[in-house]
Amino acid sequence: MMTNSTKSKLDPAGTRYSALALTAPVAMGYIPLGTVFGFLFVQAGGDGWLAVLASLFVFAGAAQYMMIPMIAAGSSAGTIALATLIVNLRHAFYGLSLLDRLPRAGWLRWYLVFGLTDETYSVLTTMPESTSLRQMAWVALLNHAWWVTGTAIGATIGARAQVPLAGLDFVLAALFAVLAVEQWRTRMSPAPLWIALAAYGVAYSLAPTHALVIAIVLSTAAGIVWQARSATAATEARDD
């Protein structure tokens, strides 16, 4: 399955080498953060092989961190699936900007789509337009490998030592903080952040236990109104 055979014939080894270089910064993050996931999962009472399986088949850091306390508390699969939907909703928008870059159907493209994490997406968007599907798939595969490797290391450590430190799960909040800053940086408009702050404040004062879902509904509604107004303003400006 080669969509760009001339390019891969020219330098198959070079393809791997540059993908390796491109994913090196991701490895610096994925291996230690995967280690923390594997460690926390095993400490919460899960088998190590299940942690590795989760990293192999889910491959979504924030959702995997979020799942640990939920699975330890015995939440239903449906509840965890809904939480995953909320945490990973942003990924539905990543593909929109890659539609033209991944034109052909085939298992290589579907693997790339599966591996479209925040980090893989940001590496792909820095690669030139001419990059072959094969080369992009290498980036996804290597990132996937770093994440699974880290998880296996963490699961092994976690199975050997009990660490009774309170607050280690703050790593999820920290990951959300990092993702928020990166979203802020790419959009260069902090309005969604202020709207979300207000929405969460209202939702929390109404019903703390359902604050998450209420806040998302409120800020989505506010976002639609806010955008409808700015779109109207843009249309009016064009008409003038």
Binding mask 9-38 for other proteins (x = CB under 8 A): -------------------xx--xx-----
- Regarding 161 and contact with other proteins (CB under 8 A), the answer is no
Count of residues in the chain: 240
Choosing from 4, 8, 71, 153, the residue that interacts with other proteins (CB under 8 A) is 71
19, 22, 40, 102: residue in contact with other proteins (rule CB under 8 A)? 102
Give the nearer residue to other proteins in terms of CB position, either 10 or 197.
197
Residues in region 177-236 near other proteins by CB under 8 A: 177-185, 187, 189-193, 195-197, 199-200, 204, 208, 211-212, 215-216, 219-220, 223-224, 226-227, 231
- What residue spans of 58-190 are helical by DSSP H? 61-72, 77-88, 91-94, 107-114, 118-126, 133-160, 170-187
**Per CB under 8 A, 171 contacts other proteins:** yes
Out of 4, 8, 18, 95, name the contact with other proteins by CB under 8 A: 95
In the chain, the N- to C-terminal Cα span, in Å, equals 53
Query: CA of 49: how far to CAs of 39, 72, 109, in Å?
Result: 12, 16, 27
Contact between 160 and other proteins per CB under 8 A = no
Which of 104, 121, 3, 15 lies closest to 61 in space, CA to CA?
A: 121
| Residue 52, SS3 per DSSP | helix
Among residues 19, 40, 60, 139, the one that binds other proteins under rule CB under 8 A:
60
Rule CB under 8 A: say whether 91 interacts with other proteins: yes
Residue number with CB closer to other proteins (157 or 211): 211
Looking only at residues 124 through 153 of this chain, which bind other proteins when binding is defined by CB under 8 A?
none
Residue 136 exposed, middle or buried by CB count within 10 Å (0-12, 13-18, 19+): buried
- Residues in CB range of 126: below 8 A, 6 or more apart: 22
Compare residues 161 and 165 and give the one whose CB is closer to other proteins.
165
For residue 42, the tally of other CB atoms under 10 A from its CB is: 24
